[in-house]
Chain A
Amino acid sequence: MHNKTTGRFSTWILRAYIALVLVFVFSPLLASMVFSFNSDRFPSLPLGEFTTHWYKAVWNNDAVPEALRNSVIVSLCSAVLGTFIGFCTAYTDYRYQFRGKALYLGLALLPPTIPLVIMGLAMLAWLSRAGLSGTLFAIIIAHTVMCAPFAMALIRLRLQQIDPNLEAAAWNLGASEWRTMRSVIIPFTRPSIIAALCLTAAVSFDEFAVAWFVSGLNKTVPVVILEILQGNVDPQINAIGTFVFIISITLVVITQLIVMKQNKGHRHGR
């Protein structure tokens, strides 16, 4: 039944299948990169000539640098706020038992179940009453709501691995709760905090539905992309996409390296 040849055969089929899934996932990414250097406005096979025209067009597009600035501000602020709130929630869940905790956790984890279009609708309706619509604050507020649950989940997973006696030991040694937080909990969860910052920044950076509803005249990069898609549909989209992709991947790799180096440092430090 499990003779070696059929086993090896099926293993290779399954591995090929993984490759197929990766092809599906990456074909739009690769295609958009290729199209960004292709002269055709509506690319097909065979491809047109090589050009950097679309990159030049982006370079000369005034909307892009401003949108990039808005996006950076929004994603940094939402990442910091979302991670802070996520950390508080995760720590509360890890450390305390109280009445209504199920409800508390429900509230913490509910936002991702609400479709973005609806979030946008509700946020705009509410924030325009509060006089905040059309400002970057509006986007930051909305994105923080969306980011916090992700940060909470990541940090909570990490706290799961902490030795519950550790905090108690620190207290017994006379450390205050604040000091224990600073010198035990935060260092321990630091990789997850960094990961959460990174993930939430990415979530915010690519979010377009809510931003589209509430941004008004202060557009972020994805909103500009959406407007080009609704507007004159040109391969500038690919150029912006490739550019943004390179930035975010660089960030991811740097974060990965920091986390890895830190892990190593800890291990050696022992």
Chain B
Amino acid sequence: MPITDGRSSRLYAHLWRWPMPVWQLLFFLVPLCFMVLMSFWLVKNYRMEPAFVTANWEKMFSRGYFWNAYWRTLGLAGLTTLIATLLAFPAAYALSFKVSETVRRWIIFLLIIPFFTSFLVRIYAWQVILAESGVINAGLATLGIGPFTMLNTAFGTIIGYLTLTLPLVVILQTMSLSQVDRSLIEAAWNLGSSRVRTIATVILPLAKTGLIIGAVFCFILAFGDFVSPYYLGGSKPPTLSILIIDTTKSGQQWPRAAVVAITMIVTLLTVAFAAVALAYRSRVRR
């Protein structure tokens, strides 16, 4: 970087540097830290009182329903990530290698559209579609099949999660697949490698980082979503995000909700860092 007039340059630099840390400190880090603090507070007669007790942590960590919800949420989000990744890959592969540039751009545009529509409205529509007297079962009934119970089940929850995540995963995968150097693929083919083998040995390793990033985003979104398990899963059984809402609703137990929240954040950060490390390491090895 060229050196210019010292003072103005420093002013200039700081002006760009500081808005983000100031804002995120005041309105992001401090609230999160406050939440950690709050998890040690007491609730008496529906009012929070500053204190330093570990009762909330002991209470939540000793409850079977907390740990059940924890593993269940982890499992559901993990399963959704797996399903979304698998479902998205053929589409992303086709978008990257089997359609023209124009078609690809249009389809990506179509996949972006859901982000500009209300997620709640889409979930409500699924509710109507999946209900026992809903559209799918009515359609199946004309064929003499069904009815199937889809609403208020884990299936419903996962449909909701996929509604949230699938378009994003397809987009991210496509972005990373289309950056794979085509000449490498052709080289593999020329060397007699089969299609499946080419995907496994050439394309996947090259696109790994993008695929992992897509999976991480999918996991984060599914892990924290409360709308799908509530409105499509019937809160039966509840996930951690529903547990948070239930806990804040009942008896003003914010400190306990904070315990759940902190556990979720720690889990997410661990997963995210592990995944990013994985993505990064493989790149270095290459």
Q: Do the beta carbons of A171 and B2 come within 8 Å of each other?
A: yes
Kindly report which residue of chain B lies nearest to residue A172, judged by CB atoms: B2
Q: Do the beta carbons of A125 and B121 come within 8 Å of each other?
A: no
Q: Do the beta carbons of B118 and A115 come within 8 Å of each other?
A: no
- Give the contacting residue for B121; candidates A11, A121, A240; CB below 8 A: A240
Q: Do the beta carbons of B16 and A145 come within 8 Å of each other?
A: no
Q: Do the beta carbons of B116 and A31 come within 8 Å of each other?
A: no
Q: How far is the CA of A238 from the CA of B121 in the complex (A)?
A: 6
Q: How far is the CA of A251 from the CA of B112 in the complex (A)?
A: 13
Q: Do the beta carbons of A125 and B124 come within 8 Å of each other?
A: no
Q: Do the beta carbons of A32 and B124 come within 8 Å of each other?
A: yes
- Interface residue? B170 (CB, 8 A): yes
Binds B, one of A62-70, A103-111, A262-270: A103-111
- Interface residue? A217 (CB, 8 A): no
Q: Which of A11, A18, A24 has the most CB of B within 10 A?
A: A18
Kindly report which residue of chain B lies nearest to residue A97, judged by CB atoms: B1
- Interface residue? A76 (CB, 8 A): no
Q: Do the beta carbons of A229 and B264 come within 8 Å of each other?
A: no
Q: Which residues of B are found within 8 Å of A123, using beta-carbon distances?
A: 27, 31
Q: Which residues of B are found within 8 Å of A17, using beta-carbon distances?
A: 90-91, 94
Task: Write the nearest CB–CB distance from B104 to chain A, whole angstroms.
Answer: 10
- Interface residue? B70 (CB, 8 A): no
Kindly report which residue of chain B lies nearest to residue A245, judged by CB atoms: B117
Q: Do the beta carbons of B35 and A122 come within 8 Å of each other?
A: yes
Q: Which residues of A are found within 8 Å of B19, using beta-carbon distances?
A: 84-85, 88-89
Q: Do the beta carbons of A171 and B265 come within 8 Å of each other?
A: no
Kindly report which residue of chain B lies nearest to residue A152, judged by CB atoms: B20
- Give the contacting residue for A108; candidates B20, B27, B134, B166; CB below 8 A: B20
Q: How far is the CA of A17 from the CA of B94 in the complex (A)?
A: 8
Q: Do the beta carbons of A15 and B31 come within 8 Å of each other?
A: no
A to B contact number (C-beta, < 8 Å): 254
Kindly report which residue of chain B lies nearest to residue A91, judged by CB atoms: B16
Task: Write the nearest CB–CB distance from A19 to chain B, whole angstroms.
Answer: 9
- Interface residue? A173 (CB, 8 A): no
Kindly report which residue of chain A lies nearest to residue B129, judged by CB atoms: A31
Task: Write the nearest CB–CB distance from B283 to chain A, whole angstroms.
Answer: 17
- Give the contacting residue for B117; candidates A27, A29, A81, A117; CB below 8 A: A29
Q: Do the beta carbons of B31 and A111 come within 8 Å of each other?
A: no
- Interface residue? A244 (CB, 8 A): yes
- Give the contacting residue for B23; candidates A21, A22, A43, A148; CB below 8 A: A148
Q: Do the beta carbons of B23 and A145 come within 8 Å of each other?
A: yes
For chain B, which range describes its interface: under 10, 10 to 19, 20 to 34, or 35 or more residues?
Answer: 35 or more
Q: How many residues of chain A get a CB closer than 8 Å to chain B's CBs?
A: 88
- Interface residue? A218 (CB, 8 A): no
Interface residues of A in 124-171 (CB under 8 A from B): 125-127, 129, 141-142, 144-145, 148, 152, 168, 171
Known: A2-B189, A117-B245, A225-B118. A42 touches B226 (CB 8 A): no
- Interface residue? A202 (CB, 8 A): yes
Known: A45-B135, A125-B31. A244 touches B23 (CB 8 A): no
- Give the contacting residue for B261; candidates A28, A122, A148; CB below 8 A: A122
- Interface residue? B254 (CB, 8 A): yes
Q: How far is the CA of A176 from the CA of B8 in the complex (A)?
A: 9
Q: Which residues of B are found within 8 Å of A233, using beta-carbon distances?
A: 124
Q: How far is the CA of A238 from the CA of B261 in the complex (A)?
A: 32
Task: Write the nearest CB–CB distance from A1 to chain B, whole angstroms.
Answer: 6
- Interface residue? B138 (CB, 8 A): yes
Q: Which residues of A are found within 8 Å of B194, using beta-carbon distances?
A: 1
Kindly report which residue of chain A lies nearest to residue B38, judged by CB atoms: A125
List 8 A-B pairs, minimum CB-CB distance, nearest first.
A115-B224, A241-B121, A14-B94, A45-B138, A126-B31, A28-B125, A28-B122, A122-B31
Supply 10 further A-B pairs (C-beta < 8 A) apart from A45-B139, A110-B28, A252-B116: A18-B91, A27-B129, A35-B128, A43-B128, A96-B1, A104-B17, A126-B30, A177-B8, A208-B120, A244-B118
Sampled A-B contacts (14; CB under 8 Å): A15-B94, A31-B129, A42-B133, A43-B128, A81-B23, A88-B15, A95-B13, A104-B20, A104-B21, A117-B244, A121-B35, A238-B124, A241-B124, A244-B118
